[in-house]
Amino acid sequence: MQLSVIILNYNVRYFLEQCVLSVQEAIAGLDAEIIVIDNNSSDYSCLMMKTQFPEVKLIQNQENFGFPKGNNIGVEQAGGKYICILNPDTVVAEDTFTKILAFAEEKQDLGIIGCKLIDGTGSFLPESKRGIPTPWVAFTKIFGLYKVFPKWNLFNQYYAQHLNENQTGKVEILVGAFMFLEKDLYQKLNGFDENCFMYADDIDLSYRALLLKKSNYYFHETTVLHYKGESTVKDELYMKRFQDAMNFFYQKHFKKSWFFSFFIQVGTWFFSFVKMFQGKTKIKPLPESYILYSENENLSEKLASILENKVSFLDFKKEKMVNSSLILKGKKAEIILDNHYVSFKKCINIIETLKDKNITFKIFPKNTNYIIGSNSRNDRGQIRKIQ
């Protein structure tokens, strides 16, 4: 078997369904499998999986084991030469895995491959590629020096700014939302360190691959949608776990000193506090208009009654994206992408191309009864039922 896609879920039933739908499309021509591990969700995620995807291997944990152990359980049952650790709040393109498999087969001493991630608004997620968060690199991140001096190597290492977002190359640290590697390497690394509940596990795994003299890569030729805010609610518990995670990484890999410990304590507290604050987003006003990209004009009338607003219909076969951009310019609009006619790859491309602070996006996944998306990288996302 070429590939096993490992998806660890916890209480994101609708995002999981969309994710699995996109992965099924992406592995259609491959010898591949999907393994979903559920960490004791209470939102009927497992019932949905059994009903909608009976052919997908489902592992039901009786408690929330956290990110590292949950993924390790899934990888134990993986039959693929390669594995992909994938968040449930992601959408992959139909050619994501074929492209990355071809790239992986060309490399010697391959470590971990990550790809270009965007959020639900179409904005690039800089954590797609990172450097080792040494005390100095963490300092430049915490105090925003990487923004002030983006071209200075001394300051720009946290987000691996030696590469731009549209440039493939070697990086040190990749994000756990999408990590592609050989199963043999994962096993040599003993998987994710289960002493870390979450948040530093991807940094630790990436770093240990480097210690084995492997090369990690950021691959820009496929884009994956990562809603990000959906997997984790940022609250006081989040802040504590994030701080514990950073302490875990530093204590495991770096020589400690009084100054180092003090700096890390203050820095991780400040950084986690900022991240928690970022999670409290303002509620955006409702869109002034809705635009449906589809080939089903009748759907626009149905949506109009549900959304209690006019829904303009744009025939996806005939409509040019540049024209859409001109129509939408300056308007507070929401674009609804009908996945029955618009591929996941095209949905991702439209979201990335038309990104604008006044535009929000929702996808109507095929064979479902809801539209889904996220208006901010920090919120939990929105689901609207279509009955």
- pLDDT-based confidence at residue 7 (cuts at 50, 70, 90): very high
Answer with the residue of higher pLDDT: 259 or 16. 16
Return the pLDDT at 324: 58
**Per-residue confidence (pLDDT) for residue 193, from 0 to 100:** 95
Mean pLDDT estimate for the chain: 88
pLDDT of 235 higher than 80: no
Per-position DSSP letters for 139-206, written without gaps between them: HHHHTTHHHHSTT-TTT-TTTTTTS-TT--EEESB--TTEEEEEHHHHHHTTSS-TTS-SSSHHHHHH
Share of the chain above pLDDT 90, in %: 65
Average pLDDT over residues 40-68: 97
CA angle 153/159/184 to nearest 5° reads 115
Q: How far apart are CA 24 and CA 339, in angstroms?
A: 14
Strand partners, 385: 370
Residue 183 has a pLDDT of: 98
Residue 27 has pLDDT above 80, yes or no: yes
Q: Is the model more confident about 251 or about 299? A: 299
What is the DSSP secondary structure assignment for residue 128, as one 8-state letter? G
Find out whether 283 and 239 touch, Cβ atoms under 8 Å.
no
Q: What is the pLDDT of residue 150?
A: 76
pLDDT of residue 351: 95
Secondary structure E strands in 41-118:
57-60, 82-86, 90-91, 110-118
Instruction: Using alpha carbons, select from 46, 75, 82, 80 the residue that is nearest to residue 62.
Output: 46
Lowest-pLDDT range of 108-112, 183-187, 263-267: 263-267
- Please state the length of the chain: 387
Mean pLDDT (whole number) for 24-38: 98
Quote the CA–CA distance of 131 and 160 in Å, as a whole number.
5
User: Is residue 86 within 8 Å of residue 92, measured between CB atoms?
Assistant: yes
pTM, to two decimals: 0.90
CB-based contacts of 116, cutoff 8 Å, min separation 6: 124, 128, 165, 166, 218, 219, 220, 222, 223, 224
Q: What is the DSSP letter of 130?
A: B
* pLDDT for 322 beyond 50: no
Residues near 194 by Cβ (< 8 Å), separated by ≥ 6?
66, 68, 69, 72
The burial of 110, by beta-carbon neighbours within 10 Å (0-12 exposed, 13-18 middle, 19 or more buried), is given as: buried
Q: What pLDDT, in 10s, does the model give residues 64-91?
A: 999 999 999 999 999 999 999 999 999 9
Q: What is the pLDDT of residues 163-213, one digit of tens each?
A: 999 999 999 999 999 999 999 999 999 999 998 867 789 999 999 999 999
Average pLDDT over residues 145-161: 82
